[in-house]
Amino acid sequence: MLATERTGSTPRVALPVVRVAGGSSLTVAWLGVGPMFAGVHWLGRALMCTGENCEACAVQSPRLMAYLPVAFLPDGGAARTALWEITDAAWQQAAGLARMEGITLELGSLLMGERKRERSPLRVTPLGTVAKRQLPMATRWGLTSAVATLFRLPAPTANEETAAWAARAKPAAVRLLADALNAV
Ligand SMILES: [Zn+2]
């Protein structure tokens, strides 16, 4: 998927991260992969919670976030791929709305994210679908790699499953959290 850079022999995916700012909205097409969920601690920057026995959890509750590969579809332009960071609550709400309206969330589903005011929570609404042929391809591996890049963690190896990657990356995540906690 997309922007891969080679570091040694393992390609690493780096995607621009998109968040919905307070008082704004944006519409993207989901690439049908994920979401990948992660607990996030904000300690000067975003760090991945390591779950059980996480040191940072002693001082701060993690925020559960969802990461989705999405495409922006500018008029007449090529689709651009990004990693969309939304709250788990917003994803669950979108999935609930889709169920109620009989919409299947899949490759090409248009999702509108909106925060009405500066401090408003994010709402995500399914709006329909776009033609799949317009869309770049995404893979679970690419999503895992992009999330690894975002949190400055080791990249998954070729074909590595997300759970195996998470177990292997955990010591690095523990070190990053310890460094950030020491710096506070
Ligand atoms: Zn934690």
CA of 148 relative to ligand 1 center, distance in Å: 16
pLDDT confidence of residue 59: 93
Q: How far is CA 130 from the centre of its chain?
A: 21
CA of 125 relative to ligand 1 center, distance in Å: 29
Tokens of 82: 């990004």
CA of 61 relative to ligand 1 center, distance in Å: 7
CA of 167 relative to ligand 1 center, distance in Å: 15
CA of 178 relative to ligand 1 center, distance in Å: 11
CA of 102 relative to ligand 1 center, distance in Å: 36
CA 28 – CA 169 distance, rounded (Å): 30
Give the residue extent of every domain in the chain: 4-183
Q: What are phi and psi of 87, to 5 degrees?
A: -75, 150
CA of 48 relative to ligand 1 center, distance in Å: 7
CA of 32 relative to ligand 1 center, distance in Å: 28
pLDDT confidence of residue 1: 47
In 3-state terms, the chain is what percent helix, strand and coil (to 5)?
A: 30, 30, 40
pLDDT confidence of residue 5: 55
Task: Quote the pTM value.
Answer: 0.91
Query: Coil, strand, or helix at residue 136?
Result: coil
CA of 55 relative to ligand 1 center, distance in Å: 6
Q: Which of 24, 38, 97 is nearest to 68 (CA)?
A: 38
pLDDT confidence of residue 3: 54
**Helix (DSSP H) and strand (DSSP E) numbers for the chain:** 3, 10
CA of 153 relative to ligand 1 center, distance in Å: 15
Q: Which of 52, 74, 66, 55 is nearest to 150 (CA)?
A: 66
> Which long-range CB contacts under 8 A does 82-85 form with residues at least 24 apart?
82/15, 82/16, 82/17, 82/18, 82/28, 83/15, 83/16, 83/17, 83/18, 83/143, 83/146, 83/147, 83/150, 84/17, 84/18, 84/19, 84/28, 84/113, 85/17, 85/18, 85/19
CA of 160 relative to ligand 1 center, distance in Å: 24
CA of 79 relative to ligand 1 center, distance in Å: 35
pLDDT tens digit at each of 184 positions of the chain: 455 555 556 688 999 999 999 999 999 999 999 999 999 999 999 999 999 899 999 999 999 999 999 998 766 677 789 999 999 999 999 999 999 999 999 999 999 999 999 999 999 999 989 888 878 889 999 999 999 999 999 999 999 999 999 999 999 999 999 999 998 7
